[in-house]
């Protein structure tokens, strides 16, 4: 299995420097990763580094808590796309989902979807914070609002991706929606298991370790 094509090569720590973003992009080109995933402030820089390359640029919205206002998320997403982002990974409002305010959660996602028409939208549901029923409900709301992917985790929560959750998500969405496994994936065996369970994309910061394991 050629796993590099599944990988969003990720660097989202708060102390990231310009040199580290450049190295991230260089590695993504060298190892043929699908994309780099960076915080919004680095989108323009990553786009410049990857000009005329096949590697996509992904950015985050409402990250990592998901608790900013919907209008803020929509603006953040629109700004990232304006700066060159091809894909957006947004975090749902977890507290609103747990409060069963489903209309709010739906509108929160929909506003970001409408702000980036034509671009890929991945919706992070933070599986480690949710019960199974909440995960299913989050998947239904995200698909209804126009998500292209359901993503398991931010990588900043208490837990990451599991094959159990990948299968649960897969059973909760239609074939139109894909799955991104993210959080705690640091070796080839784990990444391969996620793909075999149904993930179409892998988000990880230790991407080189993963492909060397292959």
Provide the token pair at 141: 């709301």
Active site residue: 56, 111, 135, 180, which one? Answer: 180
Q: pLDDT tens digits, residue range 22-58?
A: 999 999 999 999 999 999 999 999 999 999 999 999 9
108: Cβ contacts below 8 Å, ≥ 6 apart: 70, 73, 92, 93, 96
Q: Residue 41: how many CB atoms within 10 A of its CB?
A: 12
Active site residue: 56, 73, 86, 89, which one? Answer: 89
Q: What is the pLDDT of residue 159?
A: 86
Beta strands in the chain (DSSP E): 7-11, 35-38, 56-61, 87-91, 120-124, 149-151, 178-182, 201-204
CA–CA dist 153, 73 (Å, integer): 18
Catalytic-residue membership of 89? yes
Q: Which fold has domain 3-213?
A: TIM Barrel (3.20.20)
Q: Where are the domains of the chain?
A: 3-213
Average pLDDT, the chain: 97
Confidence grade of residue 1 (pLDDT, cut at 50, 70, 90): confident
Catalytic-residue membership of 180? yes
CA–CA dist 159, 125 (Å, integer): 12
CA–CA dist 13, 42 (Å, integer): 12
Percent of the chain clearing pLDDT 70 (strictly above): 100
Q: Are 6 and 199 in contact (CB under 8 A)?
A: yes
DSSP state, residue 161: -
- Is the pTM for the entire model greater than 0.85? yes
Q: Tell me the C-alpha to C-alpha distance, in Å, between residue 194 and each of 12, 48, 113, 184, 201.
A: 21, 32, 26, 11, 9
Q: pLDDT tens digits, residue range 104-141?
A: 999 999 999 999 999 999 999 999 999 999 999 999 99
- Average pLDDT of the residues in 176-205: 97
Active site residue: 73, 111, 151, 178, which one? Answer: 151
Asked whether residue 157 carries a pLDDT value surpassing 90, the answer given is no
């Amino acid at each position: 299995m050629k796993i590099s094509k599944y990988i969003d090569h990720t660097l989202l720590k708060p102390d990231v420097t310009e040199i580290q973003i450049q190295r991230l992009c260089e590695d993504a080109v060298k190892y043929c990763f699908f994309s780099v995933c960076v915080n919004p402030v680095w989108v323009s820089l990553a786009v410049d580094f990857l000009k005329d390359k096949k590697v996509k640029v992904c950015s985050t919205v409402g990250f990592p808590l998901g608790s900013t206002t919907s209008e803020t998320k929509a603006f953040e997403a629109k700004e990232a796309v304006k700066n060159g982002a091809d894909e957006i990974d947004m975090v749902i409002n977890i507290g609103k989902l747990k409060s069963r305010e489903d209309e709010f959660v739906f509108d929160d996602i929909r506003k970001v979807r409408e702000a980036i028409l034509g671009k890929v939208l991945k919706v992070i549901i933070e599986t480690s914070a949710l019960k199974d029923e909440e995960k299913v409900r989050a998947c239904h709301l995200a698909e209804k609002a126009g998500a292209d992917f359901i993503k398991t985790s931010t990588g900043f929560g208490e837990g990451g991706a599991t094959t159990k959750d990948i299968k649960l998500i897969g059973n909760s969405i239609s074939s139109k929606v894909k799955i991104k496994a993210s959080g705690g994936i640091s070796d080839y065996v784990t990444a391969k298991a996620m793909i075999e369970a149904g993930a179409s994309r892998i988000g990880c910061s230790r991407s080189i370790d993963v492909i060397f394991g292959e």
